[in-house]
Amino acid sequence: MNANDRTGTAVNHRMRAMLRAVAAGRARVSCSSEPDLFIDGLSCGDQFAAHALAHQGLLRAARPGRPGELVPAVLTAAGHAVLTQQQRPAA
């Protein structure tokens, strides 16, 4: 089940966990129009979710790279907002 946060972005619990790994500096992303996510050196098991996070603008490559090159992944401001929203208690 997806939940909309205040940013209007649909994310589920698995996607939030992926964003937390990116925030912790544990993720790399391939330089591609369909960027693949790697966490702790392993390919993420849900690349559909990884692609969605990138296309929704929640994570991005930290720097440009050659096609297919793995570079560090970082959260965007919107990605940080999703995690911040998660940490706030529900009203």
Q: Each residue of 49-80: pLDDT tens digit?
A: 999 999 999 999 999 999 999 999 999 999 99
pLDDT of res. 90:
56
Cα–Cα distance for residue pair 24/75, rounded to 1 Å: 10
> For residue range 27-40, what is the model confidence (pLDDT) as tens digits?
999 999 899 999 99
Cβ(17)–Cβ(86) under 8 Å?
Answer: no
pLDDT of res. 91:
54
pTM: predicted TM-score of the whole model, two decimal places: 0.83
Q: What is the mean pLDDT of residues 76-85?
A: 94
Q: Name the residue ranges covered by the structural domains of the chain.
A: 3-87
Cα–Cα distance for residue pair 46/25, rounded to 1 Å: 19
